[in-house]
Structure 1
Amino acid sequence: MGKWAVIYSSVTGNTRTIAEAIAEQAGDADVFRVQDAPEDLSGYDVVALGYWLRLGQPDPLMLKYLPKVHDAEVVFFQTHGTAPTSEHAITSFARAGYNLGPGCTILGTFGCRGKINPAMLAKRKNAGPDDPHGGPKSMERWKLASTHPDAQDIADAKDLVDRMKHKMVMRERFLAKKAAKLAALQKK
């Protein structure tokens, strides 16, 4: 149902992997790196925007692009080195939504762990005990992130597409019933 634009920003390949899975499941989809993405998205029924996290929000390239997206049905997907249910991950969806242009509807979200950039890991290994990214807990988190995105993450991303398609069908049915009721009331 409908044409998708899948737009992503990726440094290590994590977000690109999820973008490709979403596009494959969507069927009728065009995939763009954010730096190559069109500004006119009016030809798309769904705009899926994917990014990696930096400072608890979408990366700088995606942050620059988000305000250009307007009047669109949006799906966010993100990869990060923390648990998808963490406050850090969840809050970043809100920050992405805050940066969207006017008239957008957020249909859904998807997040999964992803391998952390080796340059960032090297820098963080020397973090002191007061640094929130240092210490044994962080090292354990990094180790877990190093195995993602995995086959389950890819399957979950594809499931997101199916759920969004279902959501759009159900919304159209609801709106059609609502319009029919309103028309019947107006005839009386």
Structure 2
Amino acid sequence: MTKWAVIYSSVTGNTRQIAEAIAEQAGDADVFRVQDAPADVSGYDVVALGYWLRLGQPDPLMLKYLPTVKNVRVCFFQTHGTSPVSEHAITSFARAGYYLGEGCEILGTFGCRGKINPVMQKKRAQAGPDDPHGGAKSLERWKLASTHPDEQDLADAKDFVVRMERKLILKERFLARQAAKRKEQQKNPSDD
């Protein structure tokens, strides 16, 4: 069985809910708030790192932690107030990867909408029309996000774990076949 560490940063509880769903599906998982996360995660097969977005990248606490994560398989999960397939959401995964420590393999990514922090909503409600976080479009995004994460998001997070576990199995099988081929070639070199 694969041993997971689920490490998350959450202010409003959105990312915590997704972290708990991932940990529940992973079974043998240790769950940590990023503030309490271990410095050494080398004892885990998969480290799931979850965060909320700020300025198009992981929040400040997760940004500080990411460089300490080294030489492990990583899954990212994030919550935000926009569409999971938006440029903003997708680019933030790349930014998270940029901050990771050396030797990490990114196994997969999961994102979903999450309720906007009421303090942030109040602040942004005063934004002018030129502010990308103000105006009617933002109000519509906030409305869409206000019911998330929902039951479907939690089910999708659990399915994400199933897909990542399957990916690991397929990769191990592939690597075993490649090793067997190399061994056979060394035993019986061709006359090329």
TM normalised by structure 2 equals: 0.97
Could you tell me how far apart the structure 1 residues matched to 2:68 and 2:38 are?
A: 9
- Residue 169 of structure 2 corresponds to residue 165 of structure 1: no
**Counterpart in 1 of 2:125?**
125
Secondary structure of 2:52 counterpart: strand
2:8 partner amino acid: Y
Matches within 5 A, 1:12-161: 12-161=12-161
Secondary structure of 1:47 counterpart: strand
Could you tell me how far apart the structure 1 residues matched to 2:126 and 2:20 are?
A: 34
Q: Deviations over 1:109-155 (max 9, x none)?
A: 00000000000000000100110011111101001101000000000
How many corresponding residue pairs?
Answer: 188
1:140 partner amino acid: E
Q: Deviations over 1:17-40 (max 9, x none)?
A: 000000000000000000000011
**Counterpart in 1 of 2:174?**
174
Could you tell me how far apart the structure 1 residues matched to 2:147 and 2:90 are?
A: 21
Q: Post-superposition shift, 1:2?
A: 1.1
Could you tell me how far apart the structure 2 residues matched to 1:142 and 1:148 are?
A: 10
Secondary structure of 1:5 counterpart: strand
**Counterpart in 1 of 2:185?**
185
Could you tell me how far apart the structure 2 residues matched to 1:136 and 1:54 are?
A: 20
Secondary structure of 1:42 counterpart: coil
Secondary structure of 1:30 counterpart: strand
RMSD: 0.4
Secondary structure of 2:78 counterpart: strand
Point out where structure 1 has 5 or more consecutive residues left out of the alignment.
none
Bigger radius of gyration: 2
1:83 partner amino acid: S
TM normalised by structure 1 equals: 0.99
